Amino acid sequence: MAIVIAMSLAACMVGPDYRRPEVQVPEGFKEGVDWQRAQANPQAAISSTWWRMYGDDKLNGLVEQALRANQSIVAAEAAYRVALATVEANRAGLFPTVTAGLSGGRAGGNLGGLQGLGSGTSSPPSNSVVVSGTVSWELDLWGQIRRQIEAAKANAQSSDAQLAGERISIAASVATDYFQLRQADVNIRMLTEQQDIYGRILVMTQIGFKEGQASGDDVLNAQENLQTVIADLQTIEISREQNEHAIAVLTGTPPGAFSIAPDPDYKFVSPDVPPALPSQLLERRYDVVSAERTAAAANASIGVAEAAFFPTLTLSAEGGFAHNTFAHLFSLPSRFWTLGPDLAGTLFDGGERTAAVHGARATYDEDVANYRNTVLTAFQSVEDSLSSMNHLRAQAEAFAGVYDNSSRLFASQQAQFNAGAASEQNVLTQRLTLIQAEESLRDTQAQLAESNVLLVKNLGGGWQRDDANVASAPSAPSAASMPASSGSLPVPDAVVQPAAQPSAD
């Protein structure tokens, strides 16, 4: 009967049950896309390999190598395993503890001498052998252990989200550094060509100065233009080398043993963002998930603190055998046992338990505020990325028009030069204008690709679920999201848009 009563009491749990905090969520995005509302689920995930949508096999290999070898991911994965071990350790508190022991001894001596009575009398040596077992079980009457498990599980899910965040952060860093490196490749090609042209113009200007057709100032200006391009070229070379070093570290490779072959004609791809985005995209953002799970853990900790006000009931039993010879140890007269409950509670602690409850509630309020702020910040970062992409696309279109006009003007100057109606210096000057127009266009395309990666990161991944067949074919990449967890969080059905095709260069 006592066991039945104890088990009934064990069904109780003090402390508040968790309810996800309410957050103020806008109806949609301000900067050009509709947001499809769905039931809030901050543990959602849309698993994918979003980096494949850029159609670059080299980039795919670098990202996948980084996800396998990056030490920050290894550390985050280890932290997640620590959190899982904490859950298992707390769960063990629900079960009895069983111990067993075997001891033996031999004693003898002068008992009177030990008591300070002179020589005393000697006693013969005696042996003792004891085999015992103990069972102890602290019943979780008020749910303290179960609240600890609840908090540990929420912390593990938060750690899982942080692992997903580390993965997407590393993947986005690899993609961004890679696009910056390719931008440097293109700029190096154009600056090298400019250096050659300015060198030819300087020679012609020096000849003109000797013939009295150019001034000394013209020569100085030509020298300055050449030296400026040479200096700019060194800056770009530094940027490329540093981006290459950064990618090496991200992929877990020493920079000295890592290199990426230049591609001076690299074509940047920036996939179009679909006109509508499912709400799951922000709800599965790693920082949103982590903040929400942290609040859930803090809520469970309130119950842990409140349970300290109630007494603990421990059922214990001990039994075994004791004898002076091992041969007769396991006999009925040698056995012993004890059985009984232990009820204990704190009567006075100077307000320590009250302070613990106040602290737990304050921590929960802090974590809820952080969660709400994280959601708002998530919307801000997505709005910023959408705004940046909108303006960069318009800028790229404008620079494309400038480049087209410059190409026509250069062709016209070339034709006039071939007909003897224009000087070589005029042709070279127009060629410089064309190179600068191409540089503006290509830089904007690179920035647009980098902004696209930032949008992916701010959304917590791509904008639709992976299609395994499409994902395996780089020629037809799908827009998809980063794996948002290592497997412990559920993956719900998501609102999926048609595959976004990469925009033409």
pLDDT at 469 exceeding the cut of 60: no
pLDDT at 170 exceeding the cut of 50: yes
Per-residue confidence (pLDDT) for residue 138, from 0 to 100: 86
Strands, DSSP E only, in 18-121?
A: 34-36, 97-110
**Over residues 477-502, mean pLDDT:** 29
Judged by DSSP in three states, 491 sits in coil
315 forms beta bridges with 137, 341
pLDDT at 404 exceeding the cut of 80: yes
pLDDT at 493 exceeding the cut of 80: no
More confident residue, 203 or 467: 203
Question: In which band, very low, low, confident or very high, does the pLDDT at 213 lie, cut at 50, 70 and 90?
Answer: confident
Per-residue confidence (pLDDT) for residue 388, from 0 to 100: 93
24-33, 56-65, 264-273 — which is least confidently predicted? 24-33
pLDDT at 145 exceeding the cut of 70: yes
pLDDT at 309 exceeding the cut of 70: yes
Which secondary structure element, helix H or strand E, spans residue 343, and what is its range? strand 335-344
Question: In which band, very low, low, confident or very high, does the pLDDT at 470 lie, cut at 50, 70 and 90?
Answer: very low
Per-residue confidence (pLDDT) for residue 152, from 0 to 100: 93
More confident residue, 419 or 485: 419
**Mean of all residue pLDDT scores within the chain:** 82
What homologous superfamily is domain 2-105+127-471 in, according to CATH?
A: Outer membrane efflux proteins (OEP) (1.20.1600.10)
Per-residue confidence (pLDDT) for residue 194, from 0 to 100: 95
pLDDT at 241 exceeding the cut of 50: yes
pLDDT at 38 exceeding the cut of 70: no
pLDDT at 433 exceeding the cut of 60: yes
Residue type present at position 133 = G
Instruction: Convert the pLDDT of each residue in 93-113 to its tens digit.
Output: 888 988 998 887 777 665 555
Which secondary structure element, helix H or strand E, spans residue 230, and what is its range? helix 216-250
- The count of other CB atoms within 10 Å of the CB of residue 271 is 22
pLDDT at 171 exceeding the cut of 80: yes
pLDDT at 73 exceeding the cut of 70: yes
Per-residue confidence (pLDDT) for residue 237, from 0 to 100: 96
Domain ranges across the chain: 2-105+127-471
Which own/partner pairs from 218-224 qualify as long-range (CB within 8 Å, at least 24 positions apart)?
A: 222/198
Burial of 92 from C-beta contacts in 10 A (0-12 / 13-18 / 19+): exposed
More confident residue, 242 or 284: 242
In this prediction, what percent of the chain has a pLDDT beyond 70? 83
Note the pTM of the prediction, 2 decimals.
Answer: 0.79
Question: 280 to each of 132, 460, 471, 473, 492, how far by Cα in Å?
Answer: 58, 10, 21, 26, 9
78 contacts: CB under 8 Å, gap ≥ 6: none
Question: In which band, very low, low, confident or very high, does the pLDDT at 41 lie, cut at 50, 70 and 90?
Answer: low
pLDDT at 273 exceeding the cut of 50: yes
More confident residue, 108 or 12: 12
Question: In which band, very low, low, confident or very high, does the pLDDT at 497 lie, cut at 50, 70 and 90?
Answer: very low
Question: In which band, very low, low, confident or very high, does the pLDDT at 116 lie, cut at 50, 70 and 90?
Answer: low
Count the residues in the chain.
505
Per-residue confidence (pLDDT) for residue 337, from 0 to 100: 80
Per-residue confidence (pLDDT) for residue 494, from 0 to 100: 28
Instruction: Convert the pLDDT of each residue in 363-403 to its tens digit.
Output: 999 999 999 999 889 889 989 999 999 999 999 999 999 99
Per-residue confidence (pLDDT) for residue 31, from 0 to 100: 80
Cα–Cα distance measured from residue 476 to residue 467, given in angstroms and rounded to the nearest whole number: 11
Instruction: Convert the pLDDT of each residue in 245-266 to its tens digit.
Output: 999 999 999 999 999 999 999 9
Question: In which band, very low, low, confident or very high, does the pLDDT at 336 lie, cut at 50, 70 and 90?
Answer: confident
| DSSP 8-state assignment for residue 271 | B
Residue 422 CA, distance from chain mean position? 59
